[in-house]
């Protein structure tokens, strides 16, 4: 237990110390929120869908969590060769505990970053319908964070070189974001796009957060949470398996 705790603590400490990185990583969510949020607002309003900021704020929170969690996994690739990870690989501790500590740490950092963006959306004018639902929404955000931290661990354990990073960004992270319904409603989509959004785990995450914070949901919060739990278990097992296979 102390092993999981100290590895978790390490990730959180590093995050809190990296002020520059915290500010820098707010860049792209702020851009989406500012440019898309206010830029598409009038069109959204005219289409009779209400305030766009209200719609997309949960999507931007989801995006922040996705990006932060995935980056921590990519960092692992570097860490494996030139960093602390190698130290943990020869420690007399089951790899599973190390993987859990790292993943929970990465997920916590992602949630903290998501919280920061949540506060920013509040300043921008986002209003949750009920304050009571906010803690519940954060449970869903936590699930999103665990899912993508575990996936990132699996990828970080499998990649061999830094070039793979660009591939992951272009073919995994960006599609996951764009297909999630973070920035557009899931109703009335062309069939292919509709099907793709349904295999994207982030779709259920964003829908769940949106449902809890704004009352607008496509699948229903119960289904969202069920899917997230299922995918979460799957990805954690997959990540742990890949992590156990690392040969230095």
Is 92 a residue that touches other proteins (CB under 8 A)?
yes
CB of 97 to other proteins, least distance (A): 10
Q: Which stretch binds other proteins (CB under 8 A): 12-20, 43-51, 137-145, 219-227?
A: 12-20
State which residue, 38 or 84, has the beta carbon closest to other proteins. Answer: 84
d(CA 170, CA 148): 16
Residue closer to other proteins, measured from CB, 10 or 198: 10
DSSP for residue 94? -
161 vs 187, beta carbon nearer other proteins: 161
Q: Which residue has the tokens 């300043």?
A: 123
For tokens 């020869």, the residue is 90
Least distance to other proteins, CB of residue 75, Å: 11
Under rule CB under 8 A, residue 87 binds other proteins: yes
Note whether 201 and 231 are within 8 A (CB). yes
Residue range at the interface with other proteins (CB under 8 A); choices 77-85, 133-141, 174-182, 200-208: 77-85
166 interacts with other proteins by CB under 8 A:
no
Task: Determine the Cα–Cα distance for residues 229 and 49; give it in Å rounded to an integer.
Answer: 30
17 contacts other proteins (rule: CB under 8 A)? yes
Q: Which of 27, 46, 48, 90 binds other proteins (CB under 8 A)?
A: 90
| 216 binds other proteins, rule: CB under 8 A | no
CA–CA dist 93, 101 (Å, integer): 12
Burial of 112 (0-12, 13-18, 19+ CB in 10 A): middle
Choices 61-69, 85-93, 109-117, 180-188; region in contact with other proteins by CB under 8 A: 85-93
Query: What whole-number distance in Å separates Cα of residue 11 and Cα of residue 99?
Result: 12
Please classify residue 144 by burial: count the beta carbons closer than 10 Å to its beta carbon, then call 0-12 exposed, 13-18 middle and 19+ buried: buried
The CA-based angle 38-70-196, given to 5 degrees, is: 65
Cβ proximity to other proteins, 18 vs 130, nearer residue: 18
Rounded to whole angstroms, the Cα distance separating 33 from 18 reads 23
Q: 120 near 34, Cβ under 8 Å?
A: no
Residue 78 in contact with other proteins, rule: CB under 8 A: yes
Residue 93 touches other proteins, criterion: CB under 8 A:
yes
Q: How many residues bind other proteins (CB under 8 A)?
A: 29
Considering the rule CB under 8 A, would residue 112 count as an interface residue with other proteins? Answer: no
Q: Alpha-carbon distance 218 to 25, whole Å?
A: 29
* 14 belongs to the binding site for other proteins (CB under 8 A): yes
- Residues making contact with other proteins (CB under 8 A): 2-3, 6-7, 10, 13-14, 17-18, 78, 81-94, 160-162, 247-248
């Amino acid at each position: 237990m102390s092993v999981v705790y100290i590895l978790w603590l390490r990730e959180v400490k590093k995050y809190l110390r990296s002020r520059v990185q915290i500010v820098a990583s707010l860049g792209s969510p702020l851009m989406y929120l500012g440019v898309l949020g206010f830029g598409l607002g009038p069109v959204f309003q005219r289409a009779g869908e209400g305030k766009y900021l209200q719609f997309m704020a949960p999507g931007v929170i989801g995006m922040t969590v996705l990006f932060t969690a995935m980056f921590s996994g990519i960092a692992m690739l570097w860490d494996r060769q030139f960093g602390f990870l190698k130290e943990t690989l020869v420690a007399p501790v089951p790899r599973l505990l190390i993987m859990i500590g790292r993943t929970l740490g990465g997920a916590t950092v992602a949630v903290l970053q998501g919280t920061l963006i949540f506060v920013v959306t509040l300043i921008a004018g986002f209003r949750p319908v009920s304050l009571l639902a906010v803690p519940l929404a954060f449970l869903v955000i936590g699930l999103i964070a665990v899912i993508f931290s575990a996936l990132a661990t699996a990828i970080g354990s499998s990649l061999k070189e830094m070039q793979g990073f660009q591939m992951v960004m272009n073919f995994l992270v960006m599609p996951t974001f764009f297909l999630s319904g973070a920035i557009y409603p899931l109703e009335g989509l062309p069939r292919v796009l509709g099907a793709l959004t349904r295999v994207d785990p982030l779709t259920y995450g964003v829908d769940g957060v949106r449902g809890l914070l704004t009352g607008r949901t496509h699948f229903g919060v119960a289904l969202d949470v069920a899917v997230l739990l299922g995918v979460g278990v799957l990805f954690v097992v997959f990540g742990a398996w890949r992590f156990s296979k690392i040969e230095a």
